[in-house]
Structure 1
Amino acid sequence: MVATNSYREIKADMLRRITGGEWPPGSLVPNETDLAQEYGSARATINRAMRELVEDGLVERKRKAGTRVRLLPLRQMRLDIPLVRNEIEEQGAEYRYALVRSDILKAPDWLRARLNLDADTQLRHVTCVHFADGQPYQFEDRWINLKATPGARIADFGATGPNEWLVRQVPFSNVEVSFSASPATQEQAQHLGCAPGDSLFQIERQTFWQGQSVTFVRLLYHRGYRMTTRY
């Protein structure tokens, strides 16, 4: 094997060994130390190449069991955290934003349990509406952990939505997302121009930074909203 320091070249050669049958489905892949010696490269380089193969769904790693080629490749879908402004403008519509309410509160019991917060943790609770060509598009109900994000205490959300502020100011290391249909509450119906009880598309999203919850948000969309993603 010719020595190389490029993880891309190593990944490409590993892929060749998988697709060519040298490492068949279900087979155990050599460990990183042996591969580093074989490729004449640093172990960290091997690790990066292997991580990308894991992310591509071609191999799987288990503690104490090593790395194996998957019996069936795992197709993975990746979702970006979009800015609703961009989403609306990409549709050729004019974007407008309106702040409904902003308060500093202690976490309610349901949210404290969900985010694993201390009883005295304060959060900024923001509700706002995003419009496309003057029509209600998205109702945003967001809680921001001020212990993790102290700058949010004084941030001005009068002209710019909290999601745009968070994307610019706060990194995240993990995200949990769920999708569901949800009956519109009285408040949601008022702001989205529908009837209470109407079924709306809802996204709940929770972001973390190094194990600490940063924000929890519920996003409700206008009736007839359709999400499309590609992978």
Structure 2
Amino acid sequence: MKPGPRSSFRVIKDEIARRIGEQTWKAGALIPGEEALAAEFGAARATVNRALQELARAGLIERKRKVGTRVALHPVRQARFAIPLVSQEVAAAGAAYRYALLAREARAADARDAERLGVALGDMVLHLECLHLADERPYQFEDRLINPSAAPKAMEESFETLGPNEWLVGAAPFSRAEFTFLAALPSAREAKILDVAESEPVFVGERRTWLLARPITAVRMVHPQSHRLTSRL
């Protein structure tokens, strides 16, 4: 829906981010210039310029003199922190990779979902449980929530053959992320899936991403204690 006349820079910024997030404007696409956007939103060019500057700082767009403004080709993940693709991690270690979807459920967010993902109680969420294997041994258990209002096409995906992380990297650009790493004891379900003892510490990575203020996903990734994380920036 087109915003009304005399839009503020926040309205313009949020609408452009929405179009990028829903891939109305795809990665690498040239977006309309300031004059055209000013006419569409009923705003001054200075207001449009401010919105575009903030989106550029967030890593969603790239602005170049005499070339124009394009949707960023490379997701923010590459500029701030490397979000690995598990299949590539396993292959790089010389092992055979296999992926299995364990559970997929679209449901109304309960209290735990709402707190974990940052949505309202009762909002629709997509819950996925996946197992990644290396040489047929459990490598990572992935417990993920996706916010369909930020990534609506996720509801159309079965995730039977393509993992949600790989899908999100290509389909749901983000502007902000939060990473947490910790050692913890596994839940009974995590221990069973990873084939470890409940008394055996595991390596846990937790990540949340947002498109501006809208949460996209929250994921808990649990590995056997032998796991090592290496990141090169």
TM-score by length of 2: 0.64
Provide the residue aligned with 1:117 in structure 2: 119
RMSD: 1.9
Percent of aligned pairs sharing the same letter: 39
Question: Closer, same or farther in 2 for the Cα pair 1:193/1:115, shift >3 Å?
Answer: closer
Paired AA for residue 169 in structure 2: V
Which position in structure 1 is the counterpart of 2:133?
A: 131
Matched position secondary structure for 2:197:
coil
Q: Residue 221 of structure 1 is aligned with which of 201, 204, 223?
A: 223
SS at match of 1:119: coil
- Contact 1:121/1:147, CA 8 A, preserved across alignment: no
- TM-aligned CA distance change 1:109 to 1:158, over 3 Å: same
Match of 2:212 in 1: 210
2:189 aligned residue:
187
- C-alpha displacement of 1:119: 2.2
Per-residue deviation at 1:227?
A: 1.2
* Correspondent of 1:149 among 136, 151, 172: 151
How far the C-alpha of 1:136 sits from its partner, in A, is: 0.6
Work out whether residues 126 and 147 of structure 2, in 8 Å CA contact, stay in contact via their aligned partners in 1: yes
Aligned to 1:165: 167
Counterparts of 2:120 and 2:194 in 1: how far apart (Å)? 34
Distance, in Å, in 2 between the alignment partners of 1:154 and 1:183 is 34
Unmatched tracts of structure 1, length 5 or more = 1-43, 52-76
Query: Shift in Å at residue 183 of structure 1?
Result: 0.6
Task: Tell me which structure has the larger Cα radius of gyration.
Answer: 1
- Structure 2 residues not aligned, in runs of 5+: 1-49, 58-78
> Which residue matches 1:176?
178
- Count of residues in Structure 1 that have an aligned counterpart in Structure 2: 158
8 Å CA contact 2:117–2:145 kept in 1: the answer is no
Look up the match of 2:4: none
Q: Which amino acid aligns with 1:113?
A: E
Cα distance change on mapping 1:159 and 1:187 into 2, 3 Å? same
Quick one: distance in 2 between partners of 1:114 and 1:196? 23
Is the partner of 1:167 in helix, strand or coil? helix
Deviation by residue 1:16-47 (Cα, 9 ceiling, x = unmatched) = xxxxxxxxxxxxxxxxxxxxxxxxxxxx9xx9
Runs of 4+, deviation exceeding 4 Å? none
Residue 100 of structure 2 corresponds to 98
When normalised by structure 1's length, the TM-score is 0.64
Residues 32-87 of structure 1, C-alpha deviations (whole Å, 9 max, x = no match): xxxxxxxxxxxx9xx9xxx8xxxxxxxxxxxxxxxxxxxxxxxxx95211110111
Of 101, 108, 111, 2:110 maps to 108
Structure 2 contact 180–206 (Cα < 8 Å) conserved? yes
Q: Aligned-pair distance for 1:92?
A: 1.1
AA in 2 matched with 1:97 = Y
* Residue aligned with 1:191, SS: helix
Letter in 2 for 1:172: F
